[in-house]
Amino acid sequence: MKKLGSYKGFEISVVVISDNNQKYTGYVATRTGIRIESPSNNPLNRRALKQSINELISKR
């Protein structure tokens, strides 16, 4: 896991994500008790990950 920085209290990292039988490299945002993975169809899309974080924050 390589930490790239933070965004709205989430630590952004690049990791190997396992989804069923597939493995791919993608972005992950972590915070205490919360883990958001980048979309499997475009795992290196930081903008999509930030959009997911914003949606999660706005729901609270």
Tokens matching residue 8: 């709205």
pLDDT above 70 covers a percentage of the chain that reads 98
- Whether pTM exceeds 0.75: yes
Domain count, the chain: 1
Question: Which domain does 43 fall in, by range?
Answer: 2-59
pLDDT in tens, 1-20: 678 889 999 999 999 888 78
Radius of gyration of the chain (CA): 11
d(C-alpha 55, C-alpha 49), whole Å: 10
Give me the mean pLDDT over the 17-40 stretch.
87
DSSP 3-state of 14 = strand
Helix (H) or strand (E) holding 44: none
Specify the pLDDT at position 14. Answer: 92
pLDDT band at residue 29 using 50, 70 and 90 as cut-offs? very high
